[in-house]
Structure 1
Amino acid sequence: MKTKIPLLLLIFNIVFFYSQEKTTEKQIDSITTALWNSKFFNDEGLVKLTELYYQAKEIGYEEGQIRLLKRIVEIKSSYSDFISALQYLKYLKSLSLSAQQYEEYTYANCLEAKIFFMDKNYSQAKKVLNLAEKYLYKIQDKEKRRKAKTEIYIYQWYNFEKSKLPKSSYTDSLLSISKKLYNEAVLIENNHQRAKSVLYSTNLMVNSLILLKKYEEAVKYLKIGGQELKTFGEVTYLGVDYYEAKGDVEYNFKHYKGSSNDSSLASYNKAIKIGEALGYTAKTKELYSKVAEIYREKKDYAKQALFLQKSSNLEDSIQIKENKGLSEVKPLLYANKGDITETPSQNRTLLYFLSAVALLTIVIGGRKLYFNKKKNKIQPLEKVTSEKDPVVKTNPYNHLISLALKNDSSFYLTFLEAFPDFSEKLLNINPLMKISDIEFCAYIKLNLETKQIAIMKKISVRAVEGKKYRIRKKLGISAEENMYIWFSKL
């Protein structure tokens, strides 16, 4: 396997970065399959998947686009890059509906529900998952319908587990869902997919049974999961979950094969080793805490302190990323709240982002902005002597400039309402552009001076110039070309 991956990477680089011919559907499928490996669930994989997506888009290969969009959204969500995840999710939902790939549409709703329950809006996540269930009957293929059901059950389980509501019976709900998941998973015919779904179900089943202190039944499902792990593979996210579940059983059920703190510690350490290799930070953080507790019981306080510190460091890192990602995405996430109960026959092409824009139009007086835009369209720009002095001194978008200079939190979405294609054009040039990059580009588009940007962002002029330089690199703007003219033509 180790020799195969570098070879596949070499093929990828030759095909996608050096070939002058258009990539074929077969090539896209082949490379996509290779990139689905857990080892590419990272920045490296994201870059290659995104490049591959645009190759598929260029040749109009919808099935390839849909498959790639799923993985891109999964990775971006795991990085708490929710703004970018929602943008790609918008394409995924639209494309899967138009292609009548309802299995993929239900999964897109599952990914959307994940963002809601990460924001602790469990009722909204439940509504999104209920919407996904309404499309199950439209999936004609029995195997695909089973797979879609298992995905919905998985996200329903996590929504209940995180909400812990209702308190009196949520553990029973967890067990009920995990049993439904297991019963559906064992019917899947494809060996690899069945192994994955059964392993998922047994991991969740063991967790549910431990909460209910039904340890002997937990052992039964742990053994089933162990068999499926041989088919699916240990060095995977589910492998981490399995060894954590095994450690939990050994820690809580001392009669299981002479279980002890040492045996549970061995299982946790195996889970940590795989988790660290895969960058599975959320789970690794939990495992550090469990290991620290075992060392406390063993009275090894030095190692307890070490693992508590490791857990704390990861907690801070994860929390900062999640809080930042959720605060940025909330305006887009909740703007579409009213449409969450749509049925399959209603507004199939209504997209998340467009709904957000429609609502923002009402809130911020977008009508006026729209007509101003019609009347005062910026004319093509002529000459500029210095980037420090913007191209046009009189700007018709005074409202946007006012919001920008106040560093108003509504500026970004208001700007996108006035320039709806702006972010998409930038992402087409460089899919790795961040929300902060696009916002900075918006300032340049509005012809704001370096000093103005520095004052409103409370940073130095030098820092602004540095940011301009990095934006040039990301967008491929040559040093000879004036940045303001470049953005005026975008």
Structure 2
Amino acid sequence: MKTKIPLLLLIFNIVFFYSQEKKTEKQIDSITTALWSSKFFNDEGLVKLTELYYQAKEIDYEEGQIRLLKRIVEIKSSYSDFISALQYLKYLKSLSLSVQQYEEYIYANCLEAKIFFMDKNYSQAKKVLNLAERYLYKIPDKEKRRKAKTEIYIYQWYNFEKSKLPKSSYADSLLSISKKLYNEAVLIENDHKRAKSVLYSTNLMVNSLILLKKYEEAVKYLKIGGQELKTFGEVTYLGVDYYEAKGDVEFNFKHYKGSSNDSALASYNKAIKIGEALGYTAKTKELYSKVAEIYREKEDYAKQALFLQKSSNLEDSIQVKENKGLNEVKSLLYANKGDVTETPSQNRTLLYFLSAVALIIIVIGGGKLYFNKKKNKIQPLEKVTSEKDPIVKTNAYNHLISLALKNDSSFYLTFLEAFPDFSEKLLNINPLMKISDIEFCAYIKLNLETKQIAIMKKISVRAVEGKKYRIRKKLGISAEENMYIWFLKL
């Protein structure tokens, strides 16, 4: 009976919500504010937010649509519903640009970067965030620009942290990013937004300082975060992060006043309680593991095993959900036509120009191939020479080569503008191809030599050859087949 009552209430709320007459902009804003609460970061909230979005769309209320789209994408991403999240993300980016709300456009790119780094494509996530930074100067309002900058720093921090490099290689970078975030956050004028950004920055700062074993400085920022938590609220995702950070300090820094395994356990358990209530499963999984470690030190092996099992169970369910979502989304995500590469006014002109170039390439290249075949002059070379390259060396082509050799962050998306079907063709062969794989294939498509790729990517020739071998395996290219010719024919 108890389970039926909330369900009936939910159905009643939804029916009531749907039955309302057309709402005004003021009403939409009021309801959106109410739905922004953490208690609506769930299916119920998603239903109401989506319905409200379409009502805002019906009356052409663009600002309301943007605000609602942000929350919808956040919830869908947290559910690993990436296909749907990317569709709404596309609307969010397009609408934000059309009304010149560049701070929202930047945030949309931050959410896209999150999907990339969840797929372990950290280099592409970094490129998307770098491209987002190019729009900061377009935001005239200082407060909004500062808020947008803090969003970029947050996602840069997580991209570094999730890359799982050796601690010595990224701990300083994490600390640097979190300090930049903190320095911007404290200047935000709006109390609630400042509390949120400062709390974010102190949580990340504490994590960074613990990695560097700078525990006394970590305690300093933990106290600052505790003050901001009073303003922002405990029963939030940031509240979970705060109590986890507090537990980490107490567990690692026994000289901190009142620190012990018991105090750390209390902090972790508080974080777990909030996390479970909010459905914050990824963080809850990590917390279970940390609690298990405390019980190991306390030699309570039964409870250690219990929490390890809890962590393992959550890990399995999260992994299945994320893998399903990411596998479904790869072709859509990786075939994205690069609308963040250039400013909106440049995109259409570049697309027309490159389409014309592609047509010239097909006509002239096809004629050259036919003539060479007739003369029997095409030989199975390890690398196609420029004389036998069916790609005409146009300015656009040379521009792509230049971007590649400079290891420019805009290369990948610019390449997809020139070869819009390239990623889709590769993903049709192997849906598990990552962006880093597709980008490497683009270098081969452009006829770049092994040594050139090694120099621009700052890796060894042997590493490039190893990458070529793995690409062959993924795409089923036999050892006897010329890799460069294979890609030129693709």
**Shift in Å, 1:342:** 2.6
For the 8 Å contact 2:429–2:475, the answer to whether it is kept is yes
**Shift in Å, 1:22:** 1.1
Aligned CA distance change for structure 1 residues 484 and 232 (closer, same or farther; 3 Å): farther
Residue by residue, what CA displacement relative to the aligned partner does 1:393-441 show, whole Å, maximum 9, x if unpaired? 9999999999999999999999999999999999999999999999999
Aligned CA distance change for structure 1 residues 233 and 6 (closer, same or farther; 3 Å): farther
Residue by residue, what CA displacement relative to the aligned partner does 1:72-95 show, whole Å, maximum 9, x if unpaired? 000000110100000000000000
**Shift in Å, 1:169:** 2.9
1:479 aligned counterpart, secondary structure: coil
Aligned CA distance change for structure 1 residues 441 and 185 (closer, same or farther; 3 Å): closer
Residue by residue, what CA displacement relative to the aligned partner does 1:104-133 show, whole Å, maximum 9, x if unpaired? 000000000000000000010001001110
Distance, in Å, in 1 between the alignment partners of 2:315 and 2:33 is 33
Q: Bigger shift: 370-379 or 22-31? A: 370-379
Distance, in Å, in 2 between the alignment partners of 1:13 and 1:186 is 39
Aligned CA distance change for structure 1 residues 449 and 35 (closer, same or farther; 3 Å): farther
Find the counterpart in structure 2 of residue 51 from structure 1.
51
Aligned CA distance change for structure 1 residues 396 and 6 (closer, same or farther; 3 Å): farther
Distance, in Å, in 1 between the alignment partners of 2:128 and 2:428 is 29
Aligned CA distance change for structure 1 residues 166 and 39 (closer, same or farther; 3 Å): same
1:365 aligned counterpart, secondary structure: helix
Find the counterpart in structure 1 of residue 238 from structure 2.
238
Distance, in Å, in 2 between the alignment partners of 1:163 and 1:451 is 26
Aligned CA distance change for structure 1 residues 22 and 258 (closer, same or farther; 3 Å): closer
Residue by residue, what CA displacement relative to the aligned partner does 1:169-210 show, whole Å, maximum 9, x if unpaired? 311000000000000000000000000000000000000000
Aligned CA distance change for structure 1 residues 254 and 466 (closer, same or farther; 3 Å): closer
Residue by residue, what CA displacement relative to the aligned partner does 1:246-304 show, whole Å, maximum 9, x if unpaired? 00000000000031100000000000000000000000000000000100111111111
For the 8 Å contact 1:8–1:34, the answer to whether it is kept is no
Distance, in Å, in 2 between the alignment partners of 1:173 and 1:393 is 40
Distance, in Å, in 2 between the alignment partners of 1:308 and 1:169 is 29
**Shift in Å, 1:451:** 55
For the 8 Å contact 1:427–1:433, the answer to whether it is kept is yes
Distance, in Å, in 1 between the alignment partners of 2:305 and 2:205 is 32
Q: Bigger shift: 70-79 or 163-172? A: 163-172
Distance, in Å, in 1 between the alignment partners of 2:59 and 2:430 is 19
Find the counterpart in structure 1 of residue 485 from structure 2.
485
Aligned CA distance change for structure 1 residues 55 and 449 (closer, same or farther; 3 Å): farther
For the 8 Å contact 2:268–2:291, the answer to whether it is kept is yes
**Shift in Å, 1:346:** 2.5
Distance, in Å, in 2 between the alignment partners of 1:108 and 1:242 is 25
**Shift in Å, 1:17:** 3.5
Distance, in Å, in 1 between the alignment partners of 2:410 and 2:66 is 31
For the 8 Å contact 1:50–1:431, the answer to whether it is kept is no
Aligned CA distance change for structure 1 residues 305 and 452 (closer, same or farther; 3 Å): farther
**Shift in Å, 1:335:** 1.0
1:46 aligned counterpart, secondary structure: helix
For the 8 Å contact 2:361–2:392, the answer to whether it is kept is no
Aligned CA distance change for structure 1 residues 215 and 394 (closer, same or farther; 3 Å): closer
Aligned length: 490
Residue by residue, what CA displacement relative to the aligned partner does 1:449-485 show, whole Å, maximum 9, x if unpaired? 9999999999999999999999999999999999999
Residue by residue, what CA displacement relative to the aligned partner does 1:29-74 show, whole Å, maximum 9, x if unpaired? 1110011001111111111111111111111111110000000000
Aligned CA distance change for structure 1 residues 277 and 478 (closer, same or farther; 3 Å): farther
2:386 aligned counterpart, secondary structure: coil
1:350 aligned counterpart, secondary structure: helix
For the 8 Å contact 2:381–2:482, the answer to whether it is kept is no
Find the counterpart in structure 2 of residue 178 from structure 1.
178
1:80 aligned counterpart, secondary structure: coil
**Shift in Å, 1:370:** 26
Aligned CA distance change for structure 1 residues 264 and 455 (closer, same or farther; 3 Å): closer
For the 8 Å contact 1:147–1:188, the answer to whether it is kept is yes
Aligned CA distance change for structure 1 residues 199 and 77 (closer, same or farther; 3 Å): same
For the 8 Å contact 1:87–1:353, the answer to whether it is kept is no
Aligned CA distance change for structure 1 residues 90 and 213 (closer, same or farther; 3 Å): same
Aligned CA distance change for structure 1 residues 402 and 280 (closer, same or farther; 3 Å): same
Distance, in Å, in 1 between the alignment partners of 2:448 and 2:386 is 13
Q: Bigger shift: 55-64 or 436-445? A: 436-445
Aligned CA distance change for structure 1 residues 330 and 223 (closer, same or farther; 3 Å): same
Aligned CA distance change for structure 1 residues 398 and 222 (closer, same or farther; 3 Å): closer
Aligned CA distance change for structure 1 residues 359 and 380 (closer, same or farther; 3 Å): closer
1:140 aligned counterpart, secondary structure: coil
Q: Supply the RMSD in Å over aligned alpha carbons.
A: 13.4
Distance, in Å, in 2 between the alignment partners of 1:127 and 1:431 is 22
For the 8 Å contact 2:365–2:392, the answer to whether it is kept is no
For the 8 Å contact 1:390–1:447, the answer to whether it is kept is no
Find the counterpart in structure 1 of residue 123 from structure 2.
123
For the 8 Å contact 1:400–1:411, the answer to whether it is kept is yes
Residue by residue, what CA displacement relative to the aligned partner does 1:343-387 show, whole Å, maximum 9, x if unpaired? 454328999999999999999999999999999999999999999
**Shift in Å, 1:164:** 3.6
Distance, in Å, in 2 between the alignment partners of 1:470 and 1:55 is 50
For the 8 Å contact 2:18–2:51, the answer to whether it is kept is no
Identity score, percent: 95
Runs of 4+ in 1 over 6 A off after TM superposition: 1-12, 348-490
Aligned CA distance change for structure 1 residues 12 and 139 (closer, same or farther; 3 Å): farther
2:387 aligned counterpart, secondary structure: coil
Aligned CA distance change for structure 1 residues 382 and 392 (closer, same or farther; 3 Å): farther
Q: Bigger shift: 337-346 or 359-368? A: 359-368
Distance, in Å, in 1 between the alignment partners of 2:458 and 2:167 is 46
For the 8 Å contact 2:354–2:396, the answer to whether it is kept is no
Aligned CA distance change for structure 1 residues 381 and 462 (closer, same or farther; 3 Å): closer
Distance, in Å, in 1 between the alignment partners of 2:314 and 2:435 is 24
1:401 aligned counterpart, secondary structure: helix
Aligned CA distance change for structure 1 residues 193 and 432 (closer, same or farther; 3 Å): farther
For the 8 Å contact 1:395–1:446, the answer to whether it is kept is no
Find the counterpart in structure 1 of residue 435 from structure 2.
435
Distance, in Å, in 2 between the alignment partners of 1:486 and 1:412 is 20
Distance, in Å, in 1 between the alignment partners of 2:401 and 2:477 is 24
Distance, in Å, in 2 between the alignment partners of 1:149 and 1:191 is 17
